[in-house]
Structure 1
Amino acid sequence: MGTPMKRGEELVGLLATPGLGRDEIGRAANELLSALFAGFPVTALVPLLRSENTEAVKAGAWLVSELGEGAAPVIGEIAALLAHPQAYVRHFALDAVITATTEADGELIAGGIRLVDDPNPGVREKVIRLLSVIPAARLAAALPHLIGDTGHELTTWLLREAEHPEEAAGATARLESADPAERRFAAALALRIADHNDEPLARAAEASDPDIASLAAFVLRRRDRRRRRSR
């Protein structure tokens, strides 16, 4: 099998090869992930992330999503992934925006926020999660890059409302807005403040927007299971 470095390079080359079967891609990607956690350089993923082979890019995006903060060395590649035609790639690229950015990455964070209107429901849900968990300072860093975009007003609103979680009126009112983006930001706010005020989250679980209702209901069920286990 050779040295770990050589094996990592072999796996990158294998994943870049067109025509691999799904099982072979899965095995190679999982082995490469182990190599990355063992010290294989994250920057070695760049050929996959820039590949013209869609399956290679998908594998690279998944690997980046699994690295958490460890994806920071390739953060400069993420903007292109957010614009990728494959929803799978956009979805996993958002994980890097959530976990590997800093306040210096405001433009990239803004790019993630703009996907709130993505045509793919899984991508839209990941943006809601981004808005619900990313630190306020990083959201604020995105604001200068959202000027002229509806995301600027909505992100400003979310940050302002989240400072006073006991006041739920703003979140609950916008859950039934005619504007889908407003509904998604309201859902993100409900998730963001749920530890302090869970009324908006309960309302979100009953929202007429099925995507928001299912996400909120899932979060509530997961929270209830955790509470039962902790008793």
Structure 2
Amino acid sequence: MQTQAGEDLIERILAHPADGDLVGLAANDLLSELYAGFPVENLARLLHSGDDRILPTATWLLSELVDLAAPLIDEVPALLSSPIRTVRYDAIAVVLENADERHGPIIAQVMNLSRDPDSAVRWKVLEFLTEASVEQLEAGAACLPSGQVKELAEWLILQDDEEPDLNGIVIRLEAGDPVTRLFAAAAAASLADKENTNLLEHAAMVEEEEIRSFAQERLSKLRENVADR
């Protein structure tokens, strides 16, 4: 019975948080149960276990569920504020797949993580800014306080126009501070296609490793697509 199997797996994770191999196997099996219909709301037990060893597993499960995680979107603000970097990282993916115009404050929280001290989290923010819809970006920007991140978010939204600020993207990549370069790299990645990778090539040469690696990864995918044609 699906419900019983899912409950047993949750109990196993809760009972053995220090056993990484056991938790990993149980989490993979639990993910299968969740895809098969075990209610996602049951993950709240893991999210609220109070054990920091369990929280990364619970957040990873949410991120792997893609849009099936929607019933637990209200859990995400606390995850984005977690001191555990893998929790913040995976929580960003949950926002990308599940947040809409009703979730502006949560999207704004992701945008503010462009200043996160961890480069992996900043990389994930860059992915979010590149992949998010205009509606998501607009909802987040509207909930940001006045300041640099709000200004950059509003500028990024304007790049989804018939005449994007190509020169402005280059200037921000070359002369901006790290947060400015991150938003500029998102614009460059959003505009890149198989025929025009110049802006993304600029992003691949900036100082910040997370921006360079993200841009290089995007360039590789574009080039693979061209080679496959």
Aligned to 1:224: 223
Aligned to 2:173: 175
Aligned to 2:47: 49
- Cα deviation for residue 176 of structure 1 reads 2.1
Change (3 A) 1:49 1:19: closer
Matches within 5 A, 1:1-231: 3-164=1-162, 167-195=165-193, 197-229=196-228, 231=229
Deviates more, 1:114-123 or 1:192-201: 192-201
1:16 partner SS: helix
- Cα deviation for residue 10 of structure 1 reads 1.2
Deviates more, 1:120-129 or 1:211-220: 211-220
In 1, Cα distance between equivalents of 2:137 and 2:221: 26
In 2, Cα distance between equivalents of 1:224 and 1:113: 29
Identity %: 36
In 2, Cα distance between equivalents of 1:105 and 1:139: 10
Deviates more, 1:141-150 or 1:29-38: 141-150
TM-score, structure 1 normalization: 0.93
CA deviations 1:59-106 (Å, max 9, x no partner) are 110000001111100000000000001001000000011111111111
Q: Which runs of 5+ in 2 are unaligned?
A: none
Q: Is the 8 Å Cα contact of residues 104 and 141 (structure 1) preserved in structure 2?
A: yes
Q: What residue identity is the alignment partner of 2:144? A: L
- Cα deviation for residue 226 of structure 1 reads 2.5
In 2, Cα distance between equivalents of 1:164 and 1:200: 16
- Cα deviation for residue 113 of structure 1 reads 0.8
Q: Which consecutive segments of 4 or more residues in structure 1 shift more than 4 A?
A: none
- Cα deviation for residue 166 of structure 1 reads 5.5
- Cα deviation for residue 19 of structure 1 reads 3.9
Change (3 A) 1:30 1:53: same
In 2, Cα distance between equivalents of 1:149 and 1:115: 14
Q: Is the 8 Å Cα contact of residues 89 and 124 (structure 2) preserved in structure 1?
A: yes
Q: Is the 8 Å Cα contact of residues 126 and 183 (structure 2) preserved in structure 1?
A: yes
- Cα deviation for residue 177 of structure 1 reads 2.9
- Cα deviation for residue 211 of structure 1 reads 2.5
- Cα deviation for residue 144 of structure 1 reads 2.4
In 2, Cα distance between equivalents of 1:209 and 1:27: 36
Q: Is the 8 Å Cα contact of residues 16 and 22 (structure 2) preserved in structure 1?
A: no
In 2, Cα distance between equivalents of 1:42 and 1:143: 29
- Cα deviation for residue 210 of structure 1 reads 2.8
Q: Is the 8 Å Cα contact of residues 173 and 180 (structure 2) preserved in structure 1?
A: yes
- Cα deviation for residue 56 of structure 1 reads 1.3
- Cα deviation for residue 145 of structure 1 reads 1.3
1:115 partner SS: helix
RMSD: 1.5
CA deviations 1:114-133 (Å, max 9, x no partner) are 10011111100000111111
